[in-house]
Amino acid sequence: RDEEFFSSQFTEEKLGQAEKTELDPHLENLITRADSTKNWTEKILRQTEVLLQPNPSARIEEFIYDKLDKKLPSRTTNTELLGQYMLEAANEFGPGTPYGSTLITVGEYQKRLGGAERDLLQASAVGFLTPLRNFLEGDWRTISKERRLLENRRLDLDICKARLKKAKLAEAKAAAEHELRVAQAEFDRQAEVTKLLLEGIGSTHLNHLRCLQDFAEAQATYYAQCHHHMQDLQRELSRCANSISTPHSAPVVCPDPVSSAFLSGPPSPGASVSSLSSQRPLAMEQTQLPVTGTRKAKVLYDYEGHDGTELSLLADELITVHTVPGMDPDWLIGERGNQKGKVPVTYLELLS
């Protein structure tokens, strides 16, 4: 019976044949802001998922595991798979041949890039995608439920107003006035509950702001790692090409990078940088820092040294840096106590 009244009242309001109680402007603004937040959160969430995981079937698998509350098995990234194919091809063509050894070098770096990509996917899922999803599936559902209840209270209130207008007898008017007072009180109470929930959208924005900063930080770390890996790869390939093109020399096999070095810890304090520097010669350009000058630098991201010539770094620590003649401009010499080694410029903020 109530549903029939609601339907009739709603239809008459749409046709302009019945009075409609308007919400106060502040509540209307809160509803508009909440709807906008929900719509844009959905779009940003979907597009971020497409950016990080373009494969639709993989996204569906992720969704199913999430709904089943099970941990998604670790998935090999496309870049890692490419690296694996290159290593397998090298074994077939002969790892001692120029092509085979180069396939090994490039394949190892593809696997490193894939590992960095997997770290980005994991950090973004935990720090960005999950909070957005939690809002849509948690807070927004609660808000929607209370808004539907508010709409029902409003329809009930307007029905009571219409009954009062139609009442002719004094007894009928008294009953209609009592129903109207009750309906008005329930409507006002539900409007306050809904308003409190909608005002929480401000806190949602602050939370999503922090998540957005974490996402940007994860991207910055990922692209810095990719930049560093590709520079290393170009140096390896350049040395390889120079060795092969040297006239009257025996065939030279390109040095293949040691994949375990990427996962190893920082070099031991006693490691000699000078003794290893001949194995990884520095490139030709001079940095803008004076040869003899030193500066303090703040470390922006964690960095794992690949070999004994590089210094491992921890985010937010302060180190001393300087350059040497003929040094690659993308690198500096970093010092921390009695430890010393090459550090990538992209991981540093130089202090005045």
Mean pLDDT on 210-232: 95
250 vs 47, residue with greater confidence: 47
CA distances from 221 to 9, 312, 349 (A): 58, 15, 14
pLDDT of residue 108: 95
If one counts every other C-beta atom within 10 angstroms of the C-beta of residue 23, the result is 17
Cβ atoms within 10 Å, residue 297 = 22
pLDDT reading at 262 higher than 80: no
Is 60 exceeded by the pLDDT of residue 339? yes
Query: Picking from 34-38, 224-228, 305-309, which range would have the lowest pLDDT averaged per residue?
Result: 305-309
| Tokens linked to 41 | 């959160």
- How is residue 184 written in tokens? 């008005």
Name the 3-class secondary structure at 349. strand
β partners of residue 310: 342
**What SS3 class is residue 18?**
coil
Q: Where in the chain is the domain with CATH 2.30.30.40?
A: 264-350
Q: What percent of the chain has pLDDT over 70?
A: 75
Residues of the chain with CATH 1.20.1270.60: 2-218
The superfamily CATH assigns to domain 2-218 is Arfaptin homology (AH) domain/BAR domain (1.20.1270.60)
Work out whether the CA dihedral 300, 304, 306, 307 comes out positive or negative: positive
Q: Output the CA–CA distances (angstroms, integers) from residue 301 to 100, 232, 267, 344, 346, in the order listed.
A: 34, 18, 18, 11, 9
Lowest-pLDDT range of 39-43, 57-61, 320-324: 57-61
CATH number of 264-350: 2.30.30.40
Position with higher pLDDT, 302 vs 251: 302
Q: How far apart are CA 170 and CA 176, in angstroms?
A: 10
pLDDT for res 307 = 82
